[in-house]
Amino acid sequence: MAQLPRSFYERDTAQVARGLLNKTLVHRSREGITSGRIVETEAYYGKNDPASRASRRRTKLNWLMWEEGGLAFVYMIHARWMFNVTTEREGVPGAVLIRALEPLEGLKLMKQRRGTTDEQNLASGPGKLTQAMGITYNHHGLDLTDPKSELVITGGENRPIEIASSHRIGVSKDLKRKLRFYVLGNLHVSR
């Protein structure tokens, strides 16, 4: 299945966050292919979003949020990598944090990377997800719209889902809008 085009990402960040649900994240690494259905996301805007990395100004850490949509934005929190996708058009900061996946392909490799056999626990949180998928800072800046990229997001399955929303998790200051989106009833949503 083909990767999502740049036009998918260069829209309102919350729309992209909702739209990424049920899509498939694929990592084609030297160790093997791993993939998972995206079941939980969070949207982050720029200056007026107190929880965003881009809330104050452009820095060495967040500059990628001002670039074109569809790029991998990877940074570390609490000794764990966080995988985000840039959104909006160049010059407008935005990114979607991929919070949880339902593992699809490469389960043996994911279990080995995570040191667990519990499939529900493999990628049910942003740090678990990057560990299971083998995503590190080496992937920062990759163009997810490039078919040759080792990281891509594809269209996924066309199965019906019910989308729920809430406030973002683990932020001290949040917007009044509910910017966390997840597949209702999915057992792989973060816990």
Q: What is the CATH number of the domain that holds 92?
A: 3.10.300.10
| Beta bridge pairs of residue 107 | none
Q: What is the pLDDT of residues 61-77, one digit of tens each?
A: 888 888 999 999 999 99
**Is 50's pLDDT higher than 70?**
no
Residue 188 located in a structural domain: no
Domain span at 102:
6-183
**Count: domains in the chain:** 1
Quick one: tokens of 149? 């990229």
Question: Distance between CA atoms of 92 and 86, rounded to whole angstroms?
Answer: 10
pLDDT at 171: 78
Residue 189 located in a structural domain: no
Beta-carbon neighbour count of residue 121 at 10 Å?
15
CA distances from 100 to 36, 67, 162, 188 (A): 9, 24, 16, 7
Residue 1 located in a structural domain: no
pTM value is: 0.94
**Is 96's pLDDT higher than 70?**
yes
Q: What is the pLDDT of residues 2-17, one digit of tens each?
A: 899 999 999 999 999 9
pLDDT at 75: 93
User: Closest Cα partner for 84 from 25, 33, 32, 124?
Assistant: 25
pLDDT at 159: 82
Q: What is the pLDDT of residues 112-160, one digit of tens each?
A: 999 999 999 999 999 999 999 999 999 999 999 999 999 999 997 778 8
Q: Enter the DSSP assignment of 18.
A: H
Residues near 94 by Cβ (< 8 Å), separated by ≥ 6? 13, 16, 43, 44, 45, 46, 54, 65, 69, 86, 87, 88
Cα(first)–Cα(last) distance of the chain, in Å?
30
